[in-house]
Structure 1
């Protein structure tokens, strides 16, 4: 891993199967929290929160296909479960040099962290979930249609792969489009979009893997997720947003049954509340990390 352990730095982490990039805030004498971002986001999404947690060193990675990290090789469909293997090898790497105090996972990052700690509770002492509870699931009756739709979308991508990528005059069009789609403040959209785009001559193009936007070929059933998440043993803080995803709130009764050690906090904000309400999220994390017992 290339790093300088003081201040704020870009990092590269070479895993056995792929190279990850990321950002790190804080010095090496502080407890380490690993931050895992959401779908189509990147390490920059944790900048507002990291600056409010000087008590820790925060390592935010770019998932494969996001930010500056490598794309997964080939043109085959992506599977969410591959992120669990990334996380396993990343934790192995980090534990060679650091004591990992916990994981912060937002959205997709929280889904991956929740599933991973369900299977390996001894690997992570504390888990902080932001707008995420469990892997997504759907009825097994949708398997055939999902598989057909996924292959069709990937074949369309293959037919377009020989064409040059779209080039834009600047990132501002993408920033405004994301702000309209998500309702997230343009300044936060710009922070995320900037890391997901690259210079192309006088313009810019998307750096992120186009496969991320295509249908997955398979999704777990509720029975599978229920079996995975039952008796989840890691000490967990779940932070939801008042204007967040409604599906998250609908899962709260299940979360109370799944997690053996669960603290729940709801804060003002939307799905990206760790950016728009970073101070509230930071306060909740500090209380959880210091007390280690149920709040609210």
Structure 2
């Protein structure tokens, strides 16, 4: 395809106070900047199958978040939180010398993208949220319980005797990931393990992610805080949900966030804001990169109209009715990670 990326992929390293943030880069040096953020326990390999299909004129940077993939783990005693991840995004952007850019975020990466867009609204022109609502509200009455549990988990983890990581052969590592995540294809597993394993000796590999990312977030936010931050986002927003992910049965707080996005559509008609929200609830559309591709390409080019919106939803419905075209049965959006809520090891 003449409209897809044909540039070589290069490795990225951004220095941070505790080490480095690693990642991959696609596209021309001076292309429109787009930052890609993966989900919890994943890595930037998440975007390997999607980015090559996107417009070639953009500069795509997909990073391994701290403690994931090949990026450095946070120092001992420093927990993993959403605000810390947002600060890391700012470090990456400063390292890239970007002043204004777009973000594509999957799951946790989308929540980081939304928070960053609220805190630095002047820097972000468009946000694509894949299988997330942008924020993870905690009911106010449970916030103190969540904070305490998170702190207790952190302290308990720190008391554990330093254990040597288990060493796997590559084959055994693949089997473990497949067993823990049956929705993943073997191809997806190989993609994720490119950065999810580190070779320790000739005998085998260890998983690269920091086990502390499993600890509950100790900086939760309430629905009221989430809605206030949502209001501060000035960027155009595209939301893509799947029927087997977080869009399957939205909770009350998530429905309120969706309503907040829908209200921005009214503002769009009045010319005050540019919000576009596409809700795809057919699971098979999540397994086809080129289906969501049509939404993202149209959105990122800012060519979406109301008629195009209806047409895109019709295409998703039509494909679901007809089934997957021959040759695409095993393909997955963003390396298949959208077929499950959280990756397990």
Q: Is 1:203 aligned with 2:208? A: no
Q: For structure 1, which runs of at least 5 residues remain unmatched after alignment?
A: 1-5
Please point out which of 293, 297, 302 is paired with 1:291: 302
2: CA distance, partners of 1:31 / 1:176: 36
Q: Distance in 2 between matches of 1:34 and 1:144?
A: 33
Q: 2:74 aligns with which of 72, 75, 84?
A: 72
State TM-score, norm by structure 2: 0.75
Q: How does 1:156-195 map to 2 (within 5 A)?
A: 156-170=156-170, 171-180=173-182, 183-195=183-195
Q: Deviations over 1:245-281 (max 9, x none)?
A: 13387342232236742212234665993xx321122
1:129 aligns with 2:129: yes
1:272/1:75 Cα in 2 relative to 1: closer, same or farther (>3 Å)?
Answer: farther
Q: How many angstroms apart in 1 are the aligned matches of 2:39 and 2:80?
A: 15
Partner secondary structure for residue 102 of structure 1: strand
Q: Secondary structure at the match of 2:260?
A: helix
Query: Counterpart in 1 of 2:289?
Result: 278
Question: Which segments of 5 or more consecutive residues in structure 2 lack a partner in the other structure?
Answer: 1-6, 266-272, 310-345
- 2:318 aligns with none
Query: 1:179-258 maps to which residues of 2 (within 5 A)?
Result: 179-180=181-182, 183-201=183-201, 202-245=203-246, 246=248, 247=250, 250=255, 251-257=257-263
Stretch moving more, 14-23 or 69-78: 14-23
Q: Distance in 1 between matches of 2:123 and 2:216?
A: 31
SS at match of 2:276: strand
Report which of the two structures shows the higher radius of gyration computed on alpha carbons.
Answer: 2
**1:111 alignment partner, SS class:** helix
Query: What secondary structure, in the 3-state scheme, does the structure 2 residue paired with 1:291 have?
Result: coil
SS across alignment from 2:65? coil
Q: Over the residues paired in the alignment, what is the CA RMSD in angstroms?
A: 2.5
- Give the TM-score taking structure 1 as reference length: 0.86
Q: For residues 206 and 269 of structure 1, what CA distance do their matches in structure 2 show?
A: 33
The count of corresponding residues between Structure 1 and Structure 2 is 285
- Please say if residues 39 and 107 of structure 1, whose CA atoms lie closer than 8 Å, have aligned partners that are also in contact: yes
Segment of structure 1 superposing worse, 208-217 or 163-172? 163-172
CA contact (8 A) 1:33 1:100 kept: no
Please report how far the alpha carbon of residue 143 of structure 1 lies from its aligned counterpart in structure 2 after TM superposition. 2.9
- TM-superposed CA distance for 1:200, in Å, is 2.8
How far does the alpha carbon of each residue in 1:162-191 deviate from its partner, in whole angstroms, 9 at most, with x for none? 2211222332133213422xx232321331
The match for 1:36 is 37
1:88-127 to structure 2, matched below 5 A, reads 88-94=90-96, 96=97, 100-127=100-127
